[in-house]
Amino acid sequence: AQTVTQSQPEMSVQEAETVTLSCTYDTSESDYYLFWYKQPPSRQMILVIRQEAYKQQNATENRFSVNFQKAAKSFSLKISDSQLGDAAMYFCAYRSAGTGNQFYFGTGTSLTVIP
Amino acid sequence: GAGVSQTPSNKVTEKGKYVELRCDPISGHTALYWYRQSLGQGPEFLIYFQGTGAADDSGLPNDRFFAVRPEGSVSTLKIQRTERGDSAVYLCASSLRIAGGPTDTQYFGPGTRLTVL
């Protein structure tokens, strides 16, 4: 089974600054998808950004961007111009592109934004 | 509806009791997933449905757990003879299809927090 590792249980960032959350994964597959989800105290998981493994270009969504290093099996999330509303748990997730559609999630990183 | 909804939002039960957790997916989404999230952990896959059938139930921990989706929309997760270790947040997600680029993006509900005393 695939494993996803988030080695930073907690991170903090000053408002308006930039922070990077780390994620590594282990897989023998060549085609897959990677995701970052945000989970605020309301518990609802919100999709932040998605990356297809076959795409070399790093995905970006407004203030959120990823650094996808396929050979290193690394998928970090960069949040620029951090806002108070960015405070939440962030989960990295892996999904195979083949049969079997389940997500494998990391253990999460709790992000605090300091005003 | 506008998003995935789950009821109840919180459920407290006693050890040994039977519980049902309900998920209403986004209208038109054919795929539906159940996850369990224990305290301090990421969600763990339980089961997913494509239409009415369970396409993969490999994540169900034992035979006390069962899920149905009789009409291909609403799903119910059923837990028999609950144990204290079943206490967790149970998340439901739906996607338009199971594969095919952006159509497989999973949208999550707010979860049901189950507490077994």
CA distance A113 to A110: 10
pLDDT band at B13 (very low <50, low <70, confident <90, very high): very high
Using CA coordinates, name the residue in chain A closest to B113.
Answer: A43
For residue A102, pLDDT over 90 is answered with no
Answer yes or no: are the C-beta atoms of A30 and A71 closer than 8 Å.
no
Give the tens place of pLDDT for each residue, A15-55. Answer: 999 999 999 999 988 888 999 999 998 888 999 999 999 88
Q: What is the pLDDT of residue A29?
A: 87
C-beta separation of A107 from A90 below 8 A: no
Cβ distance B46 to B55 under 8 Å?
no
A35 phi, psi to nearest 5 deg = -140, 155
Confidence of residue B73 (pLDDT cuts 50, 70, 90): very high
Cβ-based contacts of A7 with chain B (< 8 Å): none
User: Residue A46: what pLDDT?
Assistant: 92
Q: What is the mean pLDDT of residues A43-68?
A: 93
Nearest CB partner across the interface for B108, out of A33, A45, A106 = A45
B106 touches chain A (CB under 8 A): yes
| Mean pLDDT value across residues A73-91 | 97
More confident residue, A5 or B99: A5
pLDDT over 70 at B98, yes or no: no
Give mean pLDDT, residues A56-78: 95
> Is B42 within 8 Å of A102 when comparing Cβ atoms?
no
Does residue B83 contact residue B116 with C-beta atoms inside 8 Å?
A: yes
Mutation target vs B (from A7, A25, A45; most B CBs, 10 A cutoff): A45
Q: Which of A4, A97, A102 lies nearest to residue B48, judging by beta carbons?
A: A102
* A108 touching B (Cβ < 8 Å): yes
Q: Which of A44, A48, A94, A110 to mutate to test the interface with B (most CBs of B within 10 A)?
A: A44
A residues 75-94 lying closer than 8 A (beta carbon) to B: 91, 93
Examine the pLDDT at B53 and tell me if it is beyond 60.
yes
Q: Does any CB of chain A come closer than 8 Å to the CB of residue B25?
A: no
Dist. CA B32–CA B111, nearest whole Å: 14
The DSSP bridge partners found for residue B93 are B33, B108
Average pLDDT estimate for B63-89: 96
Pair A86, A111: CB distance under 8 Å: yes
What band does B54 get if pLDDT is binned at 50, 70 and 90?
confident
A47/B113 CB distance under 8 A: no
Mean pLDDT of chain B: 91
pLDDT of residue A42: 83
Contact B31, B103 (CB under 8 A): no
Q: Which of B115, B106, B54 is nearest to B83 (CA)?
A: B115
Greater confidence (B102 vs A40) lies with A40
> Taking 70 as the threshold, does the pLDDT of residue B41 lie above it?
yes
Q: What angle do CA B37, B41, B45 make, to 5 degrees?
A: 45
Whether pLDDT at B44 is above 80: yes
B98 interfacial to chain A (CB closer than 8 Å): yes
